[in-house]
Each structure stands twice: as structure tokens, then as C-alpha cells.
Structure 1
């Protein structure tokens, strides 16, 4: 009987792999077309994978928590008689394959043959360099496995690599894990560093144990990765938002009546930041080894709190090309989807610059961590009334003004103090010089 290959479908722009969360079926189960059979996760968004045909699950080829590349076969389905014709869809291909020839993907406990060469297409995948002197390279797959087992980059650098040009292979890291991670607590050589990491026996105390959920683990890994990768520098400015606040208060009702959208501060921030990014294109970059990628699009991510307390970053694509009503509509739609856990992969990927509104939580200011692979992130603090000295031609006056602190964390590898400070000041200028007609 012919078998249909269920492949991991494409899940959005720039998504190359996903983590298997949970199978909703078992081998031998009958399934119907479009029935959800699998839950997967990429970054911070979960998705469901449907069955492409009616039939019976003959083989599950991957296990929960495995990282699988897009297009890889994850299961085999015996198609029912009425669907035995060749079917080819996204992530699906039907072939006549004897069951005895079906081979499951090797698990971490199975050591792949060291003589087997990796597929040619793996050579074009992006790699990460920890230390050029060590000639150690980490593929996205190796990084995913390391995150799953909480292996730091320093520890990865200690694992013997058998791949070409010093590349660390999947089999290398699995063999290392099976050996009990002997280099986990290895100390650096004093002659090389002059410092040894102390093996501190910290008392972490006693209390209720709360296991991190999967999203919290991913956020933690992403934050540690960012701090490890980018040397963070944070600059601060103070902005007078009195004109913006007054204009919004005078127009928010008319805006909603005219366009059917709430006018929060977030669309105003996104609009101004997009203009500043356009003025300073070298803020809108990513680092790829020794190269700087200057992004063609200006996609503004906005850090959003979920009901669980976790954070997610939906993205306003091409924000510099949209007017305020369009940005407001997208911001409101993305925020609503975030609250209801309905965001799609494309709506949370592709950001080139991120805004974190820490003022929403009452914070005066913040020192945000860069959302990799971006080069900078802006934090907007609470808008607070303060007595300020205002300079006029006829003398100084003390007035009540709507003030806010802005902070910009930037990657000092590619953004220096002049660029970071100038960009931040330009954002503040756009916030302050808020002269636009009423609705």
C-alpha cells in the first residue's frame, strides 16, 4: 500500500526549523484530512499541523522536543483507498514505500556514523562563531540542541569537533551529552585568561519549585544569548511629550469615530521611531560574522505582555510606508491577537527594530536587552507630569509638563556612541515636535 510522507510544512518567512511539542495521535490511529495530528513551536508561537489525507498513522519518525527542519519527513500515513493517487502538497508527498525500508530519524542515543557526510545543503546554513582563534562554528541545529540541554557557548567551544573546517556536528554534541558532559565545569587555563571561574556552591534556598513553561525557557535562552552575543551599551534622553499628549487627548475620540480604531500612544511611537530609523539606516542592521546587513525594510517590533506574564514581539511591517490610521489598526489587531494567543508566525517574525514600552507597567525607565539579531532596542518610560523650567524670550517660567525618559540599548560592535546618541535624540525630537492637524 502507498504511504504518504507528512513533512513539516513551511511556517513563515525566515523560519527554517521547529520544535516538536506533542503528537496528538499514535501509530495505528485512523486520521481524517485536516485533522490536527501534531503541535510544533517556532520561536514563541505554537502551531498545529493537520493530516493531509484520510488514512492511518503507520510511523512517527520524530519524538517530542526534537528540532526538525522545514520540509523534513516527520511521519508516514497509509492513505485510504479513495486517496491512493499521488498527492503532493506543501509538506506532503505520497510514495510507494515498503514498510521494511522505512527508517526513523536517529535519536540522540543512536550515534550517527562519523563517516557519513552531511547533506550539501547544510553547508549553506548560517553559522555562529564563538571565537575566531578557536575556529569553532555552531550551526542553527547545534545551537537549538545546546539550548534544549542548557549548554553554554563556552561549553560548546570545549567539545571536540569532527566536522570540516572545525565545525561542530550534531553527532559530536550528542556523543558529548552521552558521556555526561565532562567539560561542563572545566576551568579556563590561567595563562590564557588570568582568571578562573570560581566553582561557587551557592545556597539557592528552599521553597516551592515552579518549573518554567516552554515559552519562559525560550525567553531565558534568547536573553542570555543576546547578552552573550552583543556588548550592550545604554543611552538615555528625556523628552517633553506635552504636545503629543495634548493632541492625543483632543483627537482620540474623533479618531475612533472616523476610523473605528482606538488611538493609543503605541501607534504614535511606532510612527516616530520608523521616521528616525529611516533617518539613521545604520541602526536598522544585523551582524553576520564580519559583515553588516543593512535592512531594506523597516519593521518595528513592539514587545507585548501576554496574560501569562510572558512577552512576545508582534511586528508592524514596513512601518515607514504606512499612515497613522493603518499603523493604529495593525497595532490594535496585533495586541488583540497577542492577548488571545492567536498570533501567526509571520506576525512575530522579521522585526528590524523593537520598542519596549516599560512605562505601561509604571516604570520610569528601563535598560532593555536587544532582540537578536537586531542592533538596538528602545524603551519608553512612563509619561509623568513634572515641574520644568521653560525658556522664553521674556524669561524663564516653571510649567507643568508631560515628561518621559527614553533609553536605547545598542550593540556596540556596530553602533557607536555618536550614532546611538544621535538616533535616540532624533526619536525624542519627533516625540516633542508634534505638530499635526486635528481630526
Structure 2
């Protein structure tokens, strides 16, 4: 339906909104966090009107072959008699993002939002990015609170309104549920099923048609691989005014904590995901904004009253295949994944505890019950109805599960993994499984390096570390041996040579290992490298790295020389083809020719071990690289050129 068919008096507003969206869509870069928070979706309103909300970045082919990834993020509702409101969904901020975490809301319910204001910060698997508003308005309701995890892309996260007087209408009338997730194919994985469960559980809280003009903010995808995020802190509180560019909240990813900026003016009406929420799926509602501060209370009351009604009168659900009807009202709804598990294990849904919103039984609830041995009587009853072979197998399974639960000890503490550590674990395993590692090792004499470092400090007041000089030496060696500065293209099945030398530096943080990048390291001076490394390391430790500061790189260095580690083999960081492991320096007796006479001399020696992708490196290329590197340490002055 064409936009011009929208009935007056909203046609002028609709046209201006469409022009603004199209302008942002065509002028934005796919890697811009400011322009990647809106997606395209057609929504029918007032009987004959449709509005498209274009969103860059999410419309590109993803790593999993999705030619067009369109998810609901911001939906503006119009009518011929009422003011408009917008439901903000979790945006897809990268080609492969399907969920995110809300680190922090920068705006509170009722806050005014200006174009460019940061509504909240969304955590991906790579970084925490700012969710900016593209319109003026007020944050009427936050549907996904700060700290929410694994918010699916497209799931409503907040509601905004144009008129602050409409905030109370949003809160009073409620927001209708978003679409319920379909049962995914098993190949998609448990994580996506979990996201569906959580999205389904929270979707019933919102009834956009009954709210005043508002915007539902959703967890955005802030990196190519982000599917969930953590809400670290809300910068804005419910009722706070939001200006364009304001940071609403901070969102933690596996790589960094990024700020979620607002692109519209308004007021933060409701925070749906509180501060500290973990694993908020991309697309899950995290907050609601409105344009009129008067609508803030309406959004709050509407969402709260809607939630209360659903909890007081839960609907009964049934599960086929030996699953009984829900009793006692403890379980109002059952997610698709949970239904399959209940049917498979013959459990009674009414005996299980639901942790989802409004009494929704999730997959995790069923798994927890199975692990703890709950519902064993139901399992026994269902076993009796089966064939002897099935009864025997099922009895054995139930017995083993019961025994395992008895053997469990309380003398331990579960430490939840951060997004960073989860991704690190996954990628390191993939690297060892899919990359043929080749290991080459050599020793270098450190005395020339230590002498140069001392001279720079005493004579020129230039302070550089051993690691700074190692970075420069490695970069120059890669420039001289271009065959080592390459990577393997899995799609084409061939080696690709890099045209720049970008060194990734492993930095240990409380959240996990980070790899900020010193770009064009072969062309920089030692003092420039030293300053840049210090700045990047500090950003990594505080979670403030920008995506372009840790994404990419052509070669990595892992230095454990500050520990009593003489030698180690590092794991390659895909898609790179090489990583150099640097051990500590040790004093050893080495035969050295002095004045033409070979004499035993005490020298400082350091071990270097190259881990290389054997598809890219063969022994010859690896040997040439280590030879060039060793020459740089022997003739250290060349690094000053």
C-alpha cells in the first residue's frame, strides 16, 4: 500500500518520517553504529496505511547465508484520530546478528528524545554499541530492562511517543504481543531456541495499539556475530529526557562495553530490562520511549497492569504425547522447545516451575527439572505405557539422571561466563579443530634490544617496552616476508595476501582476552607504537574499544614474558594465519666471538614460537619469517629507520 494513502492528518508526518529513514538508509555505512539501529518492516495501521522503516547494516548477506536479514526494530503506529507511537525492536547491527544484550539504558521512561540521542547501549559478541534515536519524541515505556540478555533481533524493547501527553495512554492501554516464534529446525541450535523462548515470553507484554505515541526499543545487534548482550548500566532513568546523541545505557559484549545512543528526542518511559541483565537476545524489548513527558506514567501503568493481569489469570496449556494439562496456574504458556522436551521425557507440565515472563515455561526450566530429578513419578508412569525395550531404556536413563543428581556436591561455585569468555571458548575450539597448526620455534639474543631500550630512555627520554620493540620487529619481518602476512579464504579455498601489516596484541582483562590492533605497525616509530599500545590496552581493560580497534588484524602476538613462562604455543586467531608466542628472557651462557676469539659469555635469551596455519604457511615460509625476525633482533638499529 502506498504511503500517500495514509489518511490525514498523519500523511505529512508519515512522509517526513519515510524521507528521513530513506535518507539515513542510503547515506549510512554498514559499519556505522549510529545508522544501524533500524530495520525495515511493513505494518498495517488504520485499515489502509503502511510505513516502512529502513535500517542499514541488517540488510546485507550474513555469514549464515541469509540474503536479506530484515527484523522488526522500530514500528511507528498511525491512525486518523490518535497520535502516533513507535515500538522499537532490537535492531540487527551486523549481517549475522540475531540477538543482543541491553547493557545500559541512557534514557528513562518519560524522557524527551532528540534526534541522535543514545537510548541505550547494546552488547554484542564483539562490542557494546550505542543505540541512537532517529526521531524526536518521548520514551514512554522500556520493555526490556537494563541488563537483559539474549534479546532476539526484532523483539520489541521500548515504546516512544511524539506527544508527552500520550505517555500515560501508553502505560494505561498496554502493548499487544509481538509475533510468537516458530519452532526452529534443530540445526539452528539451542541458543536460537533459547532466544525464541525468551522473545515469546516477553512479547505478550506489549499492545502498541493501546498505547500513546511511543517507541519500543529492542536489543540491537552491535557486531557481525552478536546474538545477545548484557546491560551493564542504564545512563538514563525512567522519566528522563532524551536528546539526540544521549547515551541511554551501556551494553556489554564479549569484546567491549559500548554506549547505546539515542537518535531521537523524547523521554524514557519504561525500562524493560534492568541494569545487570545478562544474555538479552537481540531483538528483545528493553525499553519504551515517548515524545511527551506526560505519557511516561501512562506507559508505566499500562505495561505494569498488562503484566499483572496475565499473571493473575494464566491460560492453561496442554502438551501432546503424554503431557497433561497445566494445573494450579503456575504454568500459563509453554514454549515450543519446552513442549518437545516435556513430550520426550513424559513430564507433567503442571509440576514444573516456570521462570519466563507471565508464567511461560522455558526450555531451561524443563532441563533443570530433568537434571534435578523432578517429575520422576511422571516419567515412571509414562514408561509403563511403552514397549518393553523403550521401558528398559527409559528406566536406565531416569536412573542414571537420578544417580548423577545425588552425587552432586555443594562444595563448588558456578561462575557465569561473560560474553567475551563464551565467544573465546567457542572460537579457540573452532581454531584447533579446523585450522592445521604448524609450530616453529627459535631463540633470539635480547642484549641488543635491552641496550637500545636503555639508550632511548637515557639519551632521548623515550620510554618503550620490550613488547613495543617486539611488535616493531615482527611488523618489519612480515613486510619483508609477505608470504607470512596472509590468511586462508575458506570460501575460495585459497591464500589471500594482506596489503597492510596490522598487528593484534593479546591483552588480558577481567572479562577475558582482548586483541586490540596496531595498524600499519611496520610504518610507525617505536614511540608511536608505545603510545598506541598503552591507549589500546587501557581501552581494552575498561571495555571501551571501538569495533574497528579490535576487528581485523593480519597477525597476532601473545607475550607471556612477564610470567615465568619460557616457552608456549599459542592458538591461531582466525581468520589470521599466524600468531607469535613470546616467552620470558633468561640469562644463559652462550659462546660468543669477541675480537675473533670464541668465549663463553652470559647473555639474555628469549624464545619465540610461531603458530601458523599450514594451509598458508609451509616450513619454508615460516622459516624465512623467523630468519627475518631473528635478524631484526640481531641488528636492532634497523628498527629505528
Q: Calculate the TM-score normalised by the size of structure 2.
A: 0.46
How far is the alpha carbon of 1:311 from its aligned partner?
A: 1.4
**What residue is the counterpart of 1:47 in the other structure?**
129
How far is the alpha carbon of 1:219 from its aligned partner?
A: 1.4
**What residue is the counterpart of 2:599 in the other structure?**
397
**What residue is the counterpart of 2:322 in the other structure?**
none
**Structural mapping, 1:309-328, within 5 Å:** 310-328=512-530
Residues 385 and 36 of structure 1, relative CA distance in 2, 3 Å threshold: farther
SS of the residue corresponding to residue 579 of structure 2 reads strand
CA distance in 1, matches of 2:551, 2:130: 18
Q: 5+ unaligned residues in a row in structure 1: which ranges?
A: 85-98, 114-139, 150-173, 183-200
CA distance in 2, matches of 1:209, 1:419: 47
How far is the alpha carbon of 1:22 from its aligned partner?
A: 2.8
CA distance in 2, matches of 1:24, 1:435: 49
Answer whether contact 2:502 2:554 (CA < 8 A) is retained.
Answer: yes
SS of the residue corresponding to residue 636 of structure 2 reads coil
Answer whether contact 2:437 2:614 (CA < 8 A) is retained.
Answer: yes
Larger displacement relative to structure 2 (364-373 or 205-214)? 205-214
**Structural mapping, 1:135-146, within 5 Å:** none
Q: 2:417 aligns with which of 193, 213, 228?
A: 213
CA distance in 2, matches of 1:355, 1:336: 17
CA distance in 1, matches of 2:226, 2:545: 25
Q: 1:225 aligns with which of 416, 419, 430?
A: 430
SS of the residue corresponding to residue 562 of structure 2 reads helix
How far is the alpha carbon of 1:249 from its aligned partner?
A: 1.5
Q: 1:244 aligns with which of 449, 463, 480?
A: 449
How far is the alpha carbon of 1:4 from its aligned partner?
A: 4.6
**What residue is the counterpart of 2:589 in the other structure?**
387
Answer whether contact 2:96 2:224 (CA < 8 A) is retained.
Answer: no
Q: 1:29 aligns with which of 84, 109, 133?
A: 109
- Residue deviations 1:278-306, cap 9 Å, x none? 12222222222212222222110100111
How far is the alpha carbon of 1:141 from its aligned partner?
A: 8.7
- Residue deviations 1:214-264, cap 9 Å, x none? 12222111211111120112110000111111110222244446xxxx411
Q: Computing the radius of gyration over CA atoms, which structure comes out larger, 1 or 2?
A: 2
Larger displacement relative to structure 2 (325-334 or 390-399)? 390-399
Answer whether contact 1:298 1:352 (CA < 8 A) is retained.
Answer: yes
Aligned residues: 345
SS of the residue corresponding to residue 235 of structure 1 reads strand
- Residue deviations 1:330-388, cap 9 Å, x none? 11211222233322222111111000001122311110000111001001111122111
- Residue deviations 1:47-102, cap 9 Å, x none? 3434554323568599731464xxx78646433238x9xxxxxxxxxxxxxx9999
SS of the residue corresponding to residue 274 of structure 1 reads helix
Q: 5+ unaligned residues in a row in structure 2: which ranges?
A: 1-82, 167-172, 186-222, 229-253, 255-278, 280-334, 345-402
Answer whether contact 2:90 2:99 (CA < 8 A) is retained.
Answer: no
Q: 2:464 aligns with which of 235, 238, 263?
A: 263
CA distance in 2, matches of 1:338, 1:414: 30
Q: Calculate the TM-score normalised by the size of structure 1.
A: 0.65
Residues 437 and 40 of structure 1, relative CA distance in 2, 3 Å threshold: closer
SS of the residue corresponding to residue 637 of structure 2 reads coil
CA distance in 2, matches of 1:304, 1:368: 14
**What residue is the counterpart of 1:421 in the other structure?**
623
**What residue is the counterpart of 2:565 in the other structure?**
363
CA distance in 1, matches of 2:594, 2:410: 60
Q: Does 1:292 align with 2:364?
A: no
CA distance in 2, matches of 1:15, 1:3: 28
How far is the alpha carbon of 1:405 from its aligned partner?
A: 0.3
Residues 359 and 141 of structure 1, relative CA distance in 2, 3 Å threshold: closer
**What residue is the counterpart of 1:435 in the other structure?**
637
Aligned-residue RMSD, C-alpha: 4.4
**Structural mapping, 1:50-61, within 5 Å:** 50-52=132-134, 53-57=136-140
Answer whether contact 2:475 2:522 (CA < 8 A) is retained.
Answer: yes
**What residue is the counterpart of 2:550 in the other structure?**
348
**What residue is the counterpart of 1:89 in the other structure?**
none
**Structural mapping, 1:187-198, within 5 Å:** none
SS of the residue corresponding to residue 383 of structure 1 reads strand
CA distance in 1, matches of 2:565, 2:95: 34
How far is the alpha carbon of 1:433 from its aligned partner?
A: 1.4
Residues 407 and 73 of structure 1, relative CA distance in 2, 3 Å threshold: same
SS of the residue corresponding to residue 339 of structure 1 reads helix
Answer whether contact 1:61 1:104 (CA < 8 A) is retained.
Answer: no
CA distance in 2, matches of 1:265, 1:7: 48
